[in-house]
Amino acid sequence: MRDYNKLIIELSKEGRKAYSIPKNDVETVDPEKYIPKNVLRKEDPKLPEVYEVDVMRHYTNLSNKNYGVDTGFYPLGSCTMKYNPKINEDMAKLPNFANIHPRQGEDTVQGSLELMYELQEKLCEITGTDGFTLQPAAGAHGELTGLMIIKKYHEERNDTKRTKIIVPDSAHGTNPASATAVGYDIIEIKSRKDGSIDLDELKEALTDEVAGLMLTNPSTLGLFERNICEISKLVHEAGGLVYYDGANLNAIMGKSRPGDMGFDIVHLNLHKTFSTPHGGGGPGAGPVGVRHDLIKYLPVPVVAKKDDKYYLDYDKPSSIGRLMGFYGNFGVLLKAYTYILKMGASGLREASEAAVLNANYLQSQLKKEYKLPIEQVCKHEFVLSGMKDSDVHTLDIAKRMLDYGVHPPTVYFPLIIDEALMVEPTDTETLETLDNFIEIMNKIKKEAIENPKILEEAPITTPVRRLDEVQAARKPKVKWD
Amino acid sequence: MNPYLPITPEEREQMLKKIGVDSIEDLFCDVPEHIKLKEELKINDPLSEMEIRRRFSELGKKNKNIDDYTCYLGGGAYDHYIPSTVGHIAGRSEFYSSYTPYQPEVSQGTLQYIFEYQSMLAELTGMDVMNASMYDGATATAEAALMALRIKKKRNKIIVSKTVNPDTIDVLETYCHFRDIELEYLEEKDGETDPASLEKIDKETAGVIIQNPNFYGIIEDVVHISEAVQESKSLLIMNVDPSTLGVLEAPGKLGADIVVGEGQSLGIPLSYGGPYVGFMGTTTKNMRKLPGRICGETVDEDGKRGFVLTLQAREQHIRREKANSNICSNQSLYALMNTVYLSTMGLAGMKEVGNQCVSKASYAYKKLLETDKFEKAFDKPFFKEFVVKSKVDAEKINEVLFENGIIGPLDLGKINEDMKNHLMFSITEKRTKDEIDKLVEILKGVE
Amino acid sequence: MKVMDNLYYTKDHEWLKIEGKIGYVGIADYAQDQLGSIVFVELPEEDDEIEAGEAFGAIESVKAATDIYAPVDGTVVECNYDLEDEPELINEDCYENWIIKIKIDDESQKDDLMNADEYKEYLETLDEEE
C-alpha cells in the first residue's frame, strides 16, 4: 500500500463516472446557441474519468502516506500540534451551521452571530484586550490586520513620518513580511543570546519614525520576555504601538495576558492554541484583539449586539476596511468555541501548565545528549543546538526520527541558533510518549557516534526517501502533462 | 480529569522532581509577579460533550439552514451539490490533523493532492502554474493586484471593473490603501463593464481586474477587454467561478496573465462564509512572482516519484521582508475538497453542472419575466445568476418567500442604493423544475 | 575561497570586471558557496538603469535567496540568458559566468570597491566572525 504511486489522472478511463446528479428537468438551453462563441470553451480540460471506488481508494491510499497528530507525536516547535478533539469536528458539521448562506438575513443567522459574539468576548478575556475581530483567516492575515490598524492609528493622528516597524531577528518570517505587505520598512534589531530583546538596541531604534514593535512572548526560543513591561513602556513613550504575535500563547493561557503586559494589538492562531486542526497547511483562523481606543479601527463587519439582537456592524467610519470576502473562517471559529467550552477557565490554564511542564521535562532530559544553548526554565517549547560530541547536522537527526515513527521538531529555526531543533511537545501528550521520544533521541545520538552514515541515509522506512529539491526548483513540474 | 490532558498528579510530581523544581509555579518564575493572573479567567466552567451538544443545539435553532429552506442566494457563495466522497476524504484525520508538508517524506499524501489540485485547476483555467491555495477568492484577487505590481515594477495603478463582486472590491481597496496603490474603476453599463471606460487603461496601469461571469452573473466581453489590456502592456487579472469552466473558455486562452477565484463552488459547504478556498495561477513567465506555496514533482534518492514544496525562496520563511507575500497558512484541506470534488465530477460532471446551471437559470428567468411582477434589468447572456427588476417591494418579496420556506434572492438595493428593488437570483444544478415553478407561483401572488 | 585578480569586489560579494566603458558583473565564490545549489537567477531587463548599491536581480537556492547589488552606476546592455536555463553554471564557475554586462557611467566609482587583495582580507575578517 505504501508503494501506491499513481496520480488520479492515471486511473482515468473514458466513460467512467463517479458522480450522479438528476437529469435536467427543464428545457435544455444549448450554451453554444446562447453564449457568445469567443467565450465558449473549445478544448476539454484534462480531468479524471474514474468511478467512485477509484476516488475513495486513491485518496485513502494517499492519506496513508501522511503523518498527522492522530498518527503520533508531533513536537513541531512554534506550531502547537496539539490534539484536535473530535467533538470540534462534529459541531462544525451540524447542518444549522455548515449549511447556512453568508448572505442570509440577520434574523435567520442569530445563532451564528451569537456564537461569534460570545467567542469575541471569551478571546478578549483570555488575552486581556477590549475588542476582537474574527475575520482574519490565518496568523499572517491577523498580522496584516494588526499592522493596518497600527497604520490607521497613526494616519488618523496625522503622524505620517512613522514608516518603520521594529522586528527582532529571532521573529517568525511572517512578521517582517507582513509589515512589508502594508508598506512599512523594517528595522531588525539583534536579540540577546537568550533570544530576549536587547533594551539598548531597542532604545536606539526607537525614533519618531517608528510605528510599532512586533513581538512574540514567550519568544521563539520559548523563553518568557522578563522585561516585557519595560519594553512596552519604551515603545509607548516613543509614540509607537506594541503588537503581540500570538503564535506562542499556548504557554500562558490563564497565567498571564498580553493585554496586561502592555500589548495594544494581539493576534491568535486558533489552529495552534485552540486545538483546531492544521489541515495540512490550513485553514486556520487569526482573530485580532485590541485595546479599547483601537476598536474603531477593526475591519468591517464587526459582530455586535443591540438589545437582544446580534448584527453585523458595517457602520464604522474609522475601520481599516474589509479583509475577507465574508466574515472569516466561520467553521474554524466554531471549533475553537467548542474547545473553549470544553476546557473552561481552569482547563485552559491546566493546558498551558501541562504544555510548560512537558517542555521543561523534555528539556531537562534531552540536554544530557544535546546542546542546550540557554540553560533556564523554558515555557511551552525550547531550542536545542545540535548534538553534543558530534557534528552531525540537525537535518540528518530529523530525518532519522522519521524512521523511528515520530515527527521531527522544527529545524533551523529560529535563525539565531546554530543547527536549531525546536521542540514543542504540547499539552496533550502522555509521559510514556515523552519518555519514548527521549529514548529515540538518545538512540539517534548513539547512532551518530557509532555510525553517522545511518543518519545521513535516513529515512529508509518512509513511503519515499529524501527528495531532490534542487531538481524540483530548477525545472519546476507543477502540474500533470 | 480532562480527556485531552493525560498527565496524572503522581506523574506531575515525578516530572517536576526530574526537572529539579518543586511546583508548577516554579516553572512560571520568569513571569513578573504583577502581570501574573491571580484568579481564573472569567469565562465558562468546563463543559462535557453532552452539554456542548446541547448548547449547539440551542444556538442552531436560531439559524435557518438551506436544507430546510430552498436557497436562491448567490453573490459569491453557491448552493451546489456536494458529493459524499468529499466529506469522507476530507474527514480523514491523516489529512486534517497534519501540518504543512515541511517533512515531505511523511507528507506525500498532502503533497500529492496539492499537485493534483494544481493540475486540475490549471486544466480548468488554462494557466501554466497554480499555487497551493489562498484564503478565499477576495484575498486572492487582492494578492493578484500586488503581484501585478511586482511584475510591472515601474507602474503603480490597478484598475478594477465595477462589475466585480463589491465585497471583493472592498478587500482590494483595503489592501491597496495601505500600500499607497492607486486604484481606478471601469464603469458598469447595462450590467457589464462599460467598453467606453476601457480607455482608462494606460501605461501606468499594472493590472486590470475583471470578473467572469461578473457579479451580476453576466458573461463579460472578455476578448475586447483583453485586447485593451494587452495594448497598454498591463496584466489581465481574471476572477472566475470554476464551476463555469466546463462550459466557458479557459481564462488562459483569453489572455489572462493572472487567474484567481473562489473555490467554494467545488464541493465546499456554505458554512456562513468560510472556510472557503481561493485559487491563484499564472503563466510560466511570471511563476516566480506568484505568492503562496507551490508543490512540485521530483524524485527521491531511489529515483521514485515524489512531491515537495518548491520555489520556496519566494516565501516569507526564507525571504522575510522581501517575500512575495506574507501568506503561510492557506486553506489546504479545502483544496483537498476541491480535488476530491473534481475527481468525482470529472470532465462529464463539470460540463453537466455548467449546462444545467445555464438551462435552469434561463428557465427561471423566463418564467419570472412571464409574471407581471418583474422586468428585465439587463439584457445580456448570463450563467447561473441573473438580475430582474421587481415592481413589488423587494423586502416584501423576501418576507413572503421566507414564509413559504424559501430563502429568496439577493436584494441588490441593500448593497447599492441605485439598485433598489433589483433582485439577483442564483440557480444551481440543485434547483428542480418543481422548486422553480413553486417560486414563480408564490411570486405571482405577491402584491 | 577562490578570489580572482584584476576584478573589483563589493562587500556583498559581487565582482566587477572592467573592459573600457563596459563592465561585467557576477557573484564571487564566497557567495556561490554560501548559497549552495543555485536554482534560479532573476535577471533585469536590458536598458535598465542601475545604481551602485541597488538590487538589480536575485539569486535563489533551495532554501535561501539573495539580492544581487550593482557595484557601480550604469545601464544594463546584456544579460546572461544561459543562466535562465542553467543557473547551476554559477556554481560551476562563478567568475566565468557573469550575470549582466553594463555600460559604466563613471569608472572612478571603482575606487569605492575592493581589489582582490583587499577582498581577501575582508573575507578573513568574515571567517573570524564565524
Q: Write the residue in A93, A177, A254 that is nearest to B41 by C-beta.
A: A254
| Range list of H helices, B240-384 | 316-319, 332-370
Chain segment A48-63, per-residue pLDDT in tens? 999 999 999 999 999 9
**Mean pLDDT calculated for residue range C50-70:** 91
**Mean pLDDT calculated for residue range B221-235:** 96
Selected residues 56-85 of chain B with any CB under 8 Å from a CB in chain A: 56, 58-67, 71, 73-77, 79, 81, 83, 85
Q: Which residues of B touch C67 (CB under 8 A)?
A: 322
* DSSP states along A130-159: SEEE---SSHHHHHHHHHHHHHHHHHHTT-
Helix (H, G, I), strand (E, B) or coil at A267: strand
Q: Which residues of A touch B305 (CB under 8 A)?
A: 5
CATH number, domain with residue C93? 2.40.50.100
- Same domain? B164 vs B207: yes
Q: Which residues of C touch B322 (CB under 8 A)?
A: 65, 67
From the CA of C88, how many Å to the nearest CA of chain A? 9
Q: Which chains touch B (3 or more CB pairs under 8 A)?
A: A, C
Contact B93 A35 (CB under 8 A): no
Q: Which residues of B touch A96 (CB under 8 A)?
A: 59-61, 63, 65
- Same domain? B156 vs B305: yes
Q: Which residues of C touch B314 (CB under 8 A)?
A: 60, 65
- Identify the closest residue of chain C to A418 by CA–CA distance: C130
C40 part of contact set with chain A, CB < 8 Å: yes
Q: What is the mean pLDDT of chain C?
A: 92
Cα A146 to Cα A149: distance, rounded to the nearest angstrom? 5
C118 part of contact set with chain A, CB < 8 Å: no
Longest Cα–Cα distance in chain B: 84
% of chain A at pLDDT higher than 70:
100
Contact indicator for A427, A69 with CB cutoff of 8 Å: no
Flag whether B296 is in a domain.
Answer: yes
- Amino acid found at C61: S
Selected residues 190-249 of chain A with any CB under 8 Å from a CB in chain B: 223-224, 226, 228-229
From the CA of A91, how many Å to the nearest CA of chain B? 7
- Same domain? B277 vs B361: no
% of chain C at pLDDT higher than 90:
85
Chain segment B303-358, per-residue pLDDT in tens? 999 999 998 888 878 778 888 889 999 999 999 999 999 999 999 999 999 999 99
Contact indicator for C122, C11 with CB cutoff of 8 Å: yes
pLDDT at res. A1: 59
Q: Which of B288, B313, B341 is the last residue of a domain?
A: B341
Q: What are phi and psi of A377, to 5 degrees?
A: -60, 130
A453 part of contact set with chain B, CB < 8 Å: no
Residue A122 pLDDT exceeds 60: yes
Please name the residues in contact with A219: beta carbons below 8 A apart, sequence gap of 6 or more.
Answer: A168, A170, A191, A195, A196, A225, A248
Give the pLDDT band of residue A170 (cuts 50, 70, 90).
confident
Contact indicator for A473, B310 with CB cutoff of 8 Å: yes
- Identify the closest residue of chain A to B302 by CA–CA distance: A465
Flag whether B56 is in a domain.
Answer: no
Q: What is the mean pLDDT of chain B?
A: 96
Selected residues 127-186 of chain A with any CB under 8 Å from a CB in chain B: 137-141, 143-144, 147-148, 151, 172-174, 176-183, 186
Q: How many CB pairs under 8 A join A and B?
A: 693
Flag whether C7 is in a domain.
Answer: no
Q: Which of C45, C103, C42 is nearest to C72 (CA)?
A: C103
Cα C41 to Cα C79: distance, rounded to the nearest angstrom? 11
Q: What are phi and psi of A44, to 5 degrees?
A: -70, 140
Q: Which residues of A touch C88 (CB under 8 A)?
A: 474
Please name the residues in contact with A109: beta carbons below 8 A apart, sequence gap of 6 or more.
Answer: A100, B62, B63, B64, B272
Domain that residue B352 falls in: 70-81+346-444
**Mean pLDDT calculated for residue range C99-127:** 93
Residue A26 pLDDT exceeds 90: yes
Flag whether C95 is in a domain.
Answer: yes
Q: Which of A402, A401, A421 is nearest to A411 (CA)?
A: A421
**Mean pLDDT calculated for residue range B37-45:** 97
How distant, in Å, are the alpha carbons of B2, B272, B431 from that of B303?
47, 46, 50
Q: Write the residue in B288, B312, B314 that is nearest to C63 by C-beta.
A: B312
Contact B46 A349 (CB under 8 A): no
pLDDT at res. B319: 79
CATH number of A347-457: 3.90.1150.10
Q: Which residues of A touch C37 (CB under 8 A)?
A: 470
- Same domain? B333 vs B392: no
Does this model's pTM top 0.90? My answer is: yes
Give the pLDDT band of residue A64 (cuts 50, 70, 90).
very high
Best of A115, A464, A465 to disrupt the B interface by mutation (most B CBs within 10 Å)?
A: A464
Q: Determine the straight-line distance between the first and last CA of chain B, rounded to whole angstroms.
A: 62
Chain segment A351-401, per-residue pLDDT in tens? 999 999 999 999 999 999 999 999 999 999 999 999 999 999 999 999 999
Cα B84 to Cα A130: distance, rounded to the nearest angstrom? 42
Q: What are phi and psi of A344, to 5 degrees?
A: 65, 180
Contact B313 C60 (CB under 8 A): yes
Flag whether C49 is in a domain.
Answer: yes
Helix (H, G, I), strand (E, B) or coil at A334: helix
Chain segment A239-262, per-residue pLDDT in tens? 999 999 999 999 999 999 999 999
How much of chain B is in helix, strand and coil states, percent to nearest 5? 45, 20, 40
A17 part of contact set with chain C, CB < 8 Å: no
- Same domain? B328 vs B350: no
Contact indicator for B221, B189 with CB cutoff of 8 Å: no
Helix (H, G, I), strand (E, B) or coil at B105: helix
C37 part of contact set with chain A, CB < 8 Å: yes
Q: Which of C15, A277, A330 is nearest to B271 (CA)?
A: A330
Chain segment B124-162, per-residue pLDDT in tens? 999 999 999 999 999 999 999 999 999 998 899 999 999
Read off the DSSP letter of residue A11.
G
Chain segment A410-436, per-residue pLDDT in tens? 999 888 899 999 999 999 999 999 999
- Same domain? B29 vs B76: no
Cα A143 to Cα B38: distance, rounded to the nearest angstrom? 30
Contact B313 C42 (CB under 8 A): no
Flag whether C70 is in a domain.
Answer: yes
Cα B446 to Cα C23: distance, rounded to the nearest angstrom? 80
From the CA of B286, how many Å to the nearest CA of chain C? 11
Contact indicator for B217, B165 with CB cutoff of 8 Å: no
pLDDT at res. C65: 86
Chain segment B178-212, per-residue pLDDT in tens? 999 999 999 999 999 999 999 999 999 999 999 99
Domain count within chain C? 1
CATH number, domain with residue B129? 3.40.640.10
Best of C43, C62, C84 to disrupt the B interface by mutation (most B CBs within 10 Å)?
A: C62
Cα A181 to Cα C40: distance, rounded to the nearest angstrom? 24
**Mean pLDDT calculated for residue range B98-108:** 96
CATH number, domain with residue B392? 3.90.1150.10
Contact indicator for B408, B79 with CB cutoff of 8 Å: no
Q: Which of C34, B331, B312, C37 is nearest to A173 (CA)?
A: B312
B50 part of contact set with chain A, CB < 8 Å: no
- Identify the closest residue of chain C to A469 by CA–CA distance: C62
pLDDT at res. C127: 73
Characterize the bridge pairing of strands B157-161 and B182-186.
Answer: parallel
Helix axes A394-403, A431-450, angle to 10 degrees: 120
Q: Write the residue in B5, B294, B343 that is nearest to A478 by C-beta.
A: B294
Instruction: Tell whether ipTM is more than 0.90.
Output: yes
Q: Count of residues for chain A?
A: 481
From the CA of A449, how many Å to the nearest CA of chain B? 24
Q: Is the peptide bond before A218 cis (omega within 30 degrees of 0)?
A: yes
Contact C39 B322 (CB under 8 A): no
Domain A87-342: state its class.
alpha beta
**Grid cell for residue A426:** 504540547
Contact C40 A473 (CB under 8 A): yes
**Grid cell for residue A334:** 466554531
Best of A474, A475, A477, A478 to disrupt the C interface by mutation (most C CBs within 10 Å)?
A: A474
Chain segment C10-46, per-residue pLDDT in tens? 999 999 999 999 999 999 999 999 999 999 999 999 9
Best of A395, A419, A470, A471 to disrupt the C interface by mutation (most C CBs within 10 Å)?
A: A470
Domain that residue C44 falls in: 12-125
Q: Write the residue in A102, A278, A466 that is nearest to B273 by C-beta.
A: A102
- Amino acid found at C122: Y
Longest Cα–Cα distance in chain C: 40
Contact indicator for A187, A162 with CB cutoff of 8 Å: no
Domain borders along chain A are 8-63, 87-342, 347-457
Q: How many CB pairs under 8 A join A and C?
A: 12
- Identify the closest residue of chain A to B359 by CA–CA distance: A29
From the CA of B308, how many Å to the nearest CA of chain C? 11
pLDDT at res. B380: 95
Contact B4 A174 (CB under 8 A): no
Residue C129 pLDDT exceeds 70: no
Chain segment A298-348, per-residue pLDDT in tens? 999 999 999 999 999 999 999 999 999 999 999 999 999 999 999 999 999
**Burial of B87 (C-beta count, 10 Å sphere; 0-12/13-18/19+):** middle
Contact A66 B100 (CB under 8 A): no
Q: Which residues of B touch A129 (CB under 8 A)?
A: none
Cα B384 to Cα B362: distance, rounded to the nearest angstrom? 8
Contact indicator for B158, B182 with CB cutoff of 8 Å: yes
CA-angle at C89, arms to C83 and C93, nearest 5°: 135
Helix (H, G, I), strand (E, B) or coil at C120: helix
Domain count within chain B? 3
Flag whether B62 is in a domain.
Answer: no
